[in-house]
């Protein structure tokens, strides 16, 4: 597996997992989506929020693979990113009136079963996501960084990093900045047993809030995810940039 690079600016380090690119979309989530989709022969179904990059990622990959793709999300104005997805003839976006995650997930699973399509988990919640992320830990400059900071949405990237650190027996503190729903159910399921060298902090912003002042050390960070880590960063930290 090719490792995405480390960038050093001033006294800060950046894991540029956003540099992984496939068929026009980039980021660590794309790596997992590519693996999940490449053997599918019928079609894809998934669910995601109107602000999540997951629907855009799967739209681009499904178009590249020439597979039909049905995405379930909530009602309301579609983001510019999701509007772009509708340019693909193979993509259908269904907006559900009752927008709880549990509702859109269930409806996506029901569609997948009915159509014999493959269901791509909400938030990429699967063991493959753990495997794809933990490998990327191997090129971190462990002797130079003080902490690893990462935005936490679904928590799967966070858990993948923790698994990688645990396998290498690295004791560097891992700090997750929660920007969405409570991630602890997934942390309990996917964190390594007895791994406790982590901390979850909470952004004061709502998930849907976009941070307009999202420039940090010359890098434009994702306004919903990575930019919410800025207030928590300290010199010597490594910010894990999942996507942008």
Hey, is 224 helix, strand or coil? Answer: coil
pLDDT above 90 for 244? no
Question: What's the pLDDT band for 13 if we cut at 50, 70, 90?
Answer: very high
| Tens digits of residue pLDDT in 57-97 | 999 999 999 999 999 999 988 888 899 999 999 999 999 98
- The single residue listed with the structure tokens 């079609």 is 43
- pLDDT on residue 79: 86
| Tens digits of residue pLDDT in 188-232 | 999 999 999 999 999 999 998 999 999 999 999 999 999 999 999
Mean pLDDT of 112-139: 97
The CA dihedral of 155, 158, 164, 165, to the nearest 10 degrees, is: -140
- pLDDT on residue 173: 98
Torsion over CA: 219, 222, 225, 227 (sign): positive
CA–CA distances in Å: residue 202 to residues 14, 155, 206: 21, 13, 10
- pLDDT on residue 180: 85
How many CB atoms sit inside 10 A of residue 170's CB? 14
Mean pLDDT of 171-175: 97
Question: Which H or E element spans position 215?
Answer: strand 215-216
Residues in the chain: 244
Mean pLDDT of 167-187: 94
Q: What are the backbone dihedrals phi and psi of residue 194, each rounded to the nearest 5 degrees, phi first?
A: 70, 5
- pTM of structure: 0.94
Domains located in the chain, CATH noted: 6-23+126-241 (3.40.50.1100), 25-123 (3.40.50.1100)
């Amino acid at each position: 597996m090719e490792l995405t690079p480390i960038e050093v600016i001033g006294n800060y380090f950046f894991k540029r997992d956003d540099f992984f690119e496939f068929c026009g979309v980039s980021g660590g989530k794309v790596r997992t989506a590519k693996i999940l989709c490449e053997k599918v022969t019928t079609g894809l179904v998934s669910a995601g929020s109107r602000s999540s990059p997951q629907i855009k990622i799967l739209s681009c990959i499904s178009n590249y693979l020439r597979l039909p793709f049905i995405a379930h999300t909530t009602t309301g104005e579609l983001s510019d990113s999701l509007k772009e997805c509708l340019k693909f003839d193979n993509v259908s976006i269904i907006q559900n009136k009752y927008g709880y995650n549990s509702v859109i997930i269930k409806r996506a699973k029901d569609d997948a079963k009915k159509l014999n399509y493959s269901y791509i988990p909400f938030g990429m919640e699967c063991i493959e996501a753990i495997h794809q992320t933990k490998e990327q830990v191997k090129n971190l400059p462990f002797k130079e960084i003080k902490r690893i900071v990462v935005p936490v949405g679904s928590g799967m990237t966070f858990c993948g990093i923790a698994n990688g650190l645990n396998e290498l027996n690295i004791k560097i503190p891992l700090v997750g900045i929660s920007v969405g729903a409570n991630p602890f159910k997934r942390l309990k399921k996917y964190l390594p047993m007895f791994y406790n060298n982590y901390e979850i902090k909470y952004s004061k912003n709502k998930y849907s809030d976009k941070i307009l002042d999202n420039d940090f050390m010359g890098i434009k960070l994702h306004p919903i995810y990575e930019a919410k880590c800025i207030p928590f960063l300290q010199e010597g930290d490594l910010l894990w940039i999942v996507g942008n």
